[in-house]
Structure 1
Amino acid sequence: MSDTNAIGLHEASASQLAEQLNALLANYQIFYMNVRGYHWNVKGPNFFELHAKFEEFYTDLLTKIDEVAERILTLGHKPVHAYSDYVELASIREDKNVHDGEACVRGVIKGYQALIELQREILSLASDADDEGTAAQASDYIREQEKTIWMLNAYLG
């Protein structure tokens, strides 16, 4: 019996990566709902631009949620899909009752920082496992999100 999965990765490595990707998935889900909340509830002089920007962010997050879940499946494992699991696994916490534009932007920055930290850990694990698919995905996300943080910090002044 082979110790590799269908895509040629060692099963122990694939299992470890799937576990970390499930934690990432949980964080994406909580962050997604936070950004939806910012979109719905933001108030103030920058309402129109922030409302539109938050929609752009949550639309991208939803795409990435699907991609992370599909990567877990590609590794031969199951993505978690219950919100109770997301709350348990995520380091990002629900951000409730936020409506001030600047506070919402700071919440987005904090969420992306948490995702980048997790994705860097996954990138390292994937590189060690010779998992180019997961490494490339994490690397692409990190690059995009670092630029977003820079832009949001510039927005805040």
Structure 2
Amino acid sequence: MEDNPSEDWETMQIDIGIAEADRKAIAEGLNNVLADTFALYLKTHSFHWNVTGPMFNTLHTMFMTQYTELWTALDEVAERIRALGYPAPGSFSQFTKLASIKEEQGVPNAQEMLRQLVEGHEAVARTARKVFPTAEEANDQPTADLLTQRLQIHEKTAWMLRSMLE
């Protein structure tokens, strides 16, 4: 009997019909999606805590719905990275290097919060869209499906937030 069966599991070859180079490229792209999603999650949660003004209740509740959805998405993206055979990034320093969304240092007013969240959702959509060609070429339907779902959510959320700015 093996002393540490997990060592064998970690070194076991993955044969899911996607070449290793393609799995690596897809996982690297998903690392960026994960980092952008985490950055947007943090920003949305912070805005939920700190929003003020006449739209407080509406925005406070809406931001909670949005950060809850983003929190669930983090797990889905990270688990897809793991299924492809690569570790998912999980530290602030890794996310900072990988994310295209910059953190907010202060507490902007409600209108600026909305504007930043529109930009954040659009950024995640752009990041996800960059992974799509590699996933499609590799015949990676689970990643393509995940990206499609994420794109639908981010584009719809950006539209709804943008509508509040008009």
TM tier, smaller: over 0.9
Please give the alpha-carbon distance, in whole angstroms, between the structure 2 residues aligned to 1:31 and 1:155. 18
Name the TM-score, length of structure 1 as normaliser.
0.94
Residue among 121, 124, 138 paired with 1:112: 121
Hey, what does 2:7 align to over in structure 1? none
SS in 2 for 1:73: helix
1:96 CA displacement: 2.2
SS in 2 for 1:5: coil
1:41 CA displacement: 0.6
Q: Determine if the alignment matches structure 1 residue 101 to structure 2 residue 110.
A: yes
Q: Determine if the alignment matches structure 1 residue 145 to structure 2 residue 154.
A: yes
Q: Deviations over 1:16-53 (max 9, x none)?
A: 11111111111111111111110011111101100000
Unpaired runs of 5+ residues, structure 2, are 1-12
Q: Determine if the alignment matches structure 1 residue 121 to structure 2 residue 130.
A: yes
Please give the alpha-carbon distance, in whole angstroms, between the structure 1 residues aligned to 2:88 and 2:70. 16
Q: Determine if the alignment matches structure 1 residue 85 to structure 2 residue 94.
A: yes
Taking only aligned residues, the RMSD between alpha carbons, in angstroms, comes to 1.2
Hey, what does 1:66 align to over in structure 2? 75
Hey, what does 1:47 align to over in structure 2? 56
Unpaired runs of 5+ residues, structure 1, are none
Please give the alpha-carbon distance, in whole angstroms, between the structure 1 residues aligned to 2:105 and 2:67. 16
1:94 CA displacement: 0.5
1:128 CA displacement: 1.1
- How many corresponding residue pairs? 154
* Structure exhibiting the larger radius of gyration computed from Cα positions: 2
Name the TM-score, length of structure 2 as normaliser.
0.89
